[in-house]
Amino acid sequence: MTAFPFSFRWPAWVTGCIAGAGLALAAPTMAAAQTYRGVNLAGAAYSSNKLPGRYGYDYLYPKPAEVDYFTQAGMNTFRLSVLWERLQPTLNGPLDEKELQRVSQFIAYAQAHNASTVLDIHNYGRYRGQEVGSSDVPDAAFADLWARLAQAFGNNTHVLFGLMNEPQQHAADAWKNAVQAAIDAIRKAGGHNLILVPGIGWDGAHSFTKLNGPALSQLHDPDNKLLYEVHEYFDTDASGTKPDCIAPDRAVDRLRGFTDWLHANHARGFLGEFGVSRQPECVKLLDPVLSHLRDNADVWAGWTYWAAGPLWGNYMFTLEPDHGADRPQMTAIRPFLAGGTH
């Protein structure tokens, strides 16, 4: 990531609305399609090799203009990637007040624009390189993080708890135990938010049923507010690293097995990451993919495209507008947003 020599300040009124926004604002307007429709906004998890890093140089939070552009287009959800180590510098210790304030300010501004925030711990199942579930980072430490976040945001229905981005645990059964500990901690702390549950194996939708389904189907939530989060990219190896893509019918096939699993388990899902390059044949994939999600909205709660934010530059997947103009992918997505026609 390029260093940026600035320090961004939010408008003063945003800080004042943090506490009261949850009481004063109505819930987001929901279109007939997906409940949650949005984008990943990157920046706060940048420079993960620099901890805690310098705010405004090594990492930064999305600016209000980013929220403005996407909410005006009809999006109502932002997946906000943050780092565990910045939020909680010491395991089982207090949350960092400045970092928590930055998160709170973003949530408040998004909420003021009738948008929800997925609070995404973007750590791949690790804390300072050590695996969750190990002796160095026991499940109880992961649960402690989420108990503290539930105390901070547990009364805000506009905040969804994304437990962990793409956990790299060695087995789904081991990861299940960490997830259950976090769910229990959130509910014990009084949090009633929706909880997004990811799976191992890069959280792939195409592999979820076999790799994660048997273990994660055993989870219990007294509030019955779990969303199973998956990611899916549409290049040949599903890595999201190549500009080329597979055929449109094959793209939907990568989702269909997970959709069937959701129906069979009376569960609900969330496509937390997906993206295509600007090549015309790849942009065309967005129509069948989003149509599949919309047509199965009884089990697909929503989606957040990967990704946007000015730090991405000319990244092949970006939705960040190009000098004010929509990217080709954004043009394809607009019909599936609130007020869009399709």
Report yes or no: 129 and 123 within 8 Å, Cβ to Cβ.
Answer: no
Report yes or no: 41 and 62 within 8 Å, Cβ to Cβ.
Answer: yes
- What tokens does 339 get? 């007020």
Q: What is the pLDDT of residues 34-63, one digit of tens each?
A: 799 999 998 998 888 899 999 989 999 999
CB atoms within 10 A of CB 222: 10
99 is catalytic: no
Q: How high is the pLDDT of residue 47?
A: 86
Question: pLDDT at residue 25 above 90?
Answer: no
- Of 105, 225, 108, 84, give the one whose Cα is nearest residue 156: 108
Q: How high is the pLDDT of residue 162?
A: 98
- What tokens does 42 get? 């990157």
Which one of the listed residues 66, 166, 229, 320 is annotated catalytic?
A: 166
Q: What is the pLDDT of residues 263-295, one digit of tens each?
A: 999 999 999 999 999 999 999 999 999 999 999
Q: What is the pLDDT of residues 98-145, one digit of tens each?
A: 999 999 999 999 999 999 999 999 999 999 999 999 999 999 999 999
Element (H, E) at 40: strand 36-41
Query: In a 10 Å sphere around its CB, with 0-12 CB exposed, 13-18 middle and 19+ buried, how is residue 295 labelled?
Result: exposed
Distance CA 257, CA 209 (A): 7
Burial 35-60 (b: 16+ CB within 10 A, else e): bbbbbbbbbbbbbbeeebbebebbbb
Which one of the listed residues 66, 229, 273, 320 is annotated catalytic?
A: 273
Distance CA 331, CA 319 (A): 9
Report yes or no: 287 and 294 within 8 Å, Cβ to Cβ.
Answer: no
- Mean residue pLDDT across the chain: 89
85 is catalytic: no
